[in-house]
Structure 1
Amino acid sequence: EPTRTRSWRGFGTASPEHLHERNPPFPPRGRFGTSAIPVPEASAAGPELAFYAAHWTGRQWQVGLSGATAFASLLGAAPADLMSPAESRLLRRYGALSAAQAATLVNGTRAGDRLMLPWKTGQAWSMTTSDDAVAARPLASLAFSGGDGRVLAAGGGRLYRFCSSQAGAVVMVIHPSGLASTYYGMRGVTELRDGSVVEQGDALGRTGSGRPCGGAAAPRAEVAFGLRRGGGAVPLDGAEIGGWTFRERAKPLLGFAERGVLQVLPGGLLANLGPVPAADDSPSSTPSPGKKPEKDGAGPAGAPAPAAT
Structure 2
Amino acid sequence: MHALLRRALGVAAGAAAVTATLVAPASGAGQADLGTAVRETMLAERGPAASADFDVQALAEPLVEPTRNDQRWAFGTTTIPAPAKEHAGPHTAIFVAHRDAQGWQVELDGTAEFVQAVQQAPTDIVSDGEKQLFARNYENSRTAVTDTGLGLPWAEGVAWWMGGGPHGDSGQSRPYSSLDFSGGNGRVLSAGAGRVYKSCLRNGSGLVRVVHENGYSTTYYHMTGLTDLGDGQPVQYGDYLGQIDVGLPCGGSTTGPHVHFSLLRGDSHTPVDGRTIGGWTFHEGSQAYGGYAERDGTQVGTGGQITNHGRGDGTPTGVVDGGRNSSVNVRSEPKLTAPVVEELPDGSVVRIKCTARGDAVDGVWGRTDLWNQRDVGGWISDGFLYTGSDDPIAPPC
TM-score, scaled to structure 2: 0.63
Q: Which has the higher strand share?
A: 2
Q: Distance in 2 between matches of 1:244 and 1:293?
A: 31
For the pair 1:259 / 2:295, whether they are aligned, the reply is yes
1:166-245 to 2 correspondence within 5 Å?
Answer: 166-216=203-253, 218-245=254-281
Residues 167 and 177 in structure 2, CA contact (< 8 A), matched pair in contact too:
no
Kindly tell me: are residues 252 and 139 of structure 1, through their superposed partners in 2, closer, same or farther at Cα, counting changes over 3 Å? closer
Tell me the secondary structure at the aligned position of residue 254 of structure 1.
coil
Q: Mean Cα displacement is larger for which, 56-65 or 175-184? A: 56-65
Per-residue CA distance 1:194-217 (angstroms, 9 max, x = gap): 00011111111100011112111x
Residue 100 of structure 2 corresponds to which residue in structure 1? 57
Residues 189 and 241 in structure 2, CA contact (< 8 A), matched pair in contact too:
yes
Tell me the secondary structure at the aligned position of residue 90 of structure 1.
helix
Kindly tell me: are residues 140 and 85 of structure 1, through their superposed partners in 2, closer, same or farther at Cα, counting changes over 3 Å? closer
Per-residue CA distance 1:99-133 (angstroms, 9 max, x = gap): x52x31xx13xxx5x32111122221110226989
Q: Distance in 1 between matches of 2:318 and 2:102?
A: 62
**Counterpart amino acid of residue 18 in structure 1:** L
Residue 11 of structure 2 corresponds to which residue in structure 1? none
Match of 1:115 among 143, 147, 150: 150
1:72-91 to 2 correspondence within 5 Å?
Answer: 72-91=115-134
Q: Distance in 2 between matches of 1:132 and 1:97?
A: 24
Match of 1:272 among 288, 302, 308: 308
For the pair 1:20 / 2:55, whether they are aligned, the reply is no
1:33 Cα deviation (Å)? 1.2
Over the aligned positions, Cα root-mean-square deviation in angstroms equals: 3.3
1:144 Cα deviation (Å)? 0.5
| Greater relative contact order structure (CA < 8 Å, 6+ sep) | 1
Q: Distance in 2 between matches of 1:24 and 1:91?
A: 19
**Counterpart amino acid of residue 153 in structure 2:** P
**Counterpart amino acid of residue 158 in structure 2:** Q
Residues 137 and 215 in structure 2, CA contact (< 8 A), matched pair in contact too:
yes
1:161 Cα deviation (Å)? 0.4
Q: Distance in 2 between matches of 1:202 and 1:284?
A: 15
Tell me the secondary structure at the aligned position of residue 73 of structure 1.
helix
Number of residue-to-residue matches in the alignment: 283
- Structure 1: tracts of 5 or more residues without a match: 1-5, 305-309
1:265-304 to 2 correspondence within 5 Å?
Answer: 265-277=301-313, 283=316, 294=344, 296-299=348-351, 302=387
Q: Distance in 1 between matches of 2:102 and 2:288?
A: 58
Q: Distance in 2 between matches of 1:122 and 1:284?
A: 7
Task: Using the aligned pairs only, state the percent identity.
Answer: 37
Residues 63 and 80 in structure 2, CA contact (< 8 A), matched pair in contact too:
yes
- Structure 2: tracts of 5 or more residues without a match: 1-22, 26-34, 44-58, 321-341, 353-385, 390-397
Tell me the secondary structure at the aligned position of residue 227 of structure 2.
coil
Q: Distance in 2 between matches of 1:123 and 1:161?
A: 26
**Counterpart amino acid of residue 351 in structure 2:** G
Q: Distance in 2 between matches of 1:256 and 1:138?
A: 16
